[in-house]
Structure 1
Amino acid sequence: MARLLYSATMSLDGFIAGPGGDMSWLTEFLGPNPAVEELIGEIGAILVGNRSFRGDDPHRGDVEREGKAFGGGWEGPQFVLTHVPPAEPVPGVRFVGDLDSAVAEAKAAAGERYVNIIGADVARQCLAAGMLDEIFVCIAPVLLGDGVRLFDQPGGAMVKLERLSLTEAALASNVRLRVVG
């Protein structure tokens, strides 16, 4: 059965996007990362939040990579959690209106592989619902100061994590964690 994994690149001060969802900061930290390449090979489907799907792209202006999952490094079924689907269909993308249905459909599509979550709000919802299995974070050597946090739940409960791996790449440190409670 597929498992849910939230992956993101985060600044050292805990932001995955700058103010207003700006992703341009990330461009200089995209580069060879064997742990990310391995992760991409483990993904069977993507579950993405509406803001992330419609939002800024660190590959903006790169015709080959813009608008593609992992900059074109991954292809497969994508599910967007949204209450407002676009008027025109998007090839390879299914728009789903509720979390339980989106997770069920993405898991079915992923088979034995991971459902990779993209988007802080979807990850927070999955964590709160007890659905999130793992977290993979690339920590970029930068302080953004403001923006969208990796997890933002003021007053939320503590969640224990177990470290599965800690690796280094040229432009980031990677940590992979299991949600244990």
Structure 2
Amino acid sequence: MGRVIAEISVSADGIVAGPGSSAEHRLGEDGGLLHEWLFEGTDADGEVAAKLFEGTGAFVLGRTMFEVGVDTWGDDGTFEKPVYVVTNRPHEPVVKGPTTFTFVTEGVENALEQAKAAAGADNVVVMGGGTTLRQFLSAGLVDELRLHVIPLLFGHGVRLFDGPPGEHVRLKRTAVAETPNATHLIFDVLR
């Protein structure tokens, strides 16, 4: 059986989306800076980005990430695998070429169950946003955490690791790759 991998880009001060998210600024003001490594990075950044799809059989997203990205992901939906969208608002599935977005209103555990069934022996990747990723970590559902730390201090915006006091998730670093655009960290989540 595959692993559950949580993967997200984050500023050095823990921000995953800039302030003032709107239709014009889908990732918040200057939020696109967190993803430049994906599109304008080095060959080493490209190798890290390619691993997102290697061995992945399904993806999980939060509703906000779906709404932010769906118009920009093109006719094929980018993922070309089943995608499960965690939401509290029901919605009919959205099909974009080989990508089907299925909306799950029964919580992260149910979304993961459906994603694992679709992925078979392959991995399930939880992409975000921050709230969804935190829910998966807090519920103990993540095997591996991949953080792409951008050398940028936002100061304010959507924080990745705002959780209740006393909530700890222990990690063991298993790999690191450094480029001018990001420090790519991979951790096993210890249980």
Scaled by the length of structure 1, the TM-score of the pair is 0.84
Aligned to 1:138: 148
Structure 1 segments of 4 or more deviating over 6 A? none
CA–CA distance in structure 2, aligned partners of residues 116 and 150 of structure 1: 17
Unaligned 5+ runs, structure 1: 61-65
Query: Are residues 1:154 and 2:167 paired?
Result: no
Unaligned 5+ runs, structure 2: 22-26
Cα deviation for residue 109 of structure 1 reads: 1.0
Cα deviation for residue 137 of structure 1 reads: 0.8
Aligned to 2:120: 111
Query: Are residues 1:42 and 2:42 paired?
Result: no
SS at structure 2 position matched to 1:40: coil
Aligned to 1:90: 94
Distance 1:47 1:27, change over 3 A: closer
Root mean square deviation, CA, Å: 2.1
Count of matched residue positions in the alignment of Structure 1 and Structure 2: 170
CA–CA distance in structure 2, aligned partners of residues 152 and 4 of structure 1: 21
The 8 Å contact of residues 3 and 107 in structure 1, kept in 2 or not, is answered as no
The 8 Å contact of residues 9 and 35 in structure 2, kept in 1 or not, is answered as no
**Residue identity in the other structure for 1:94:** T
Range 100-109 or range 88-97, more displaced: 88-97
Query: Are residues 1:2 and 2:2 paired?
Result: yes
SS at structure 2 position matched to 1:41: coil
SS at structure 2 position matched to 1:48: strand
Q: Which has the higher contact order (CA 8 A, sep 6+)?
A: 1
Cα deviation for residue 27 of structure 1 reads: 4.6
Cα deviation for residue 170 of structure 1 reads: 4.3
The 8 Å contact of residues 2 and 108 in structure 1, kept in 2 or not, is answered as no
CA–CA distance in structure 1, aligned partners of residues 166 and 134 of structure 2: 10
Cα deviation for residue 168 of structure 1 reads: 1.8
Aligned to 1:63: none
Identity percentage over the alignment? 36
**Residue identity in the other structure for 2:18:** G
Scaled by the length of structure 2, the TM-score of the pair is 0.80
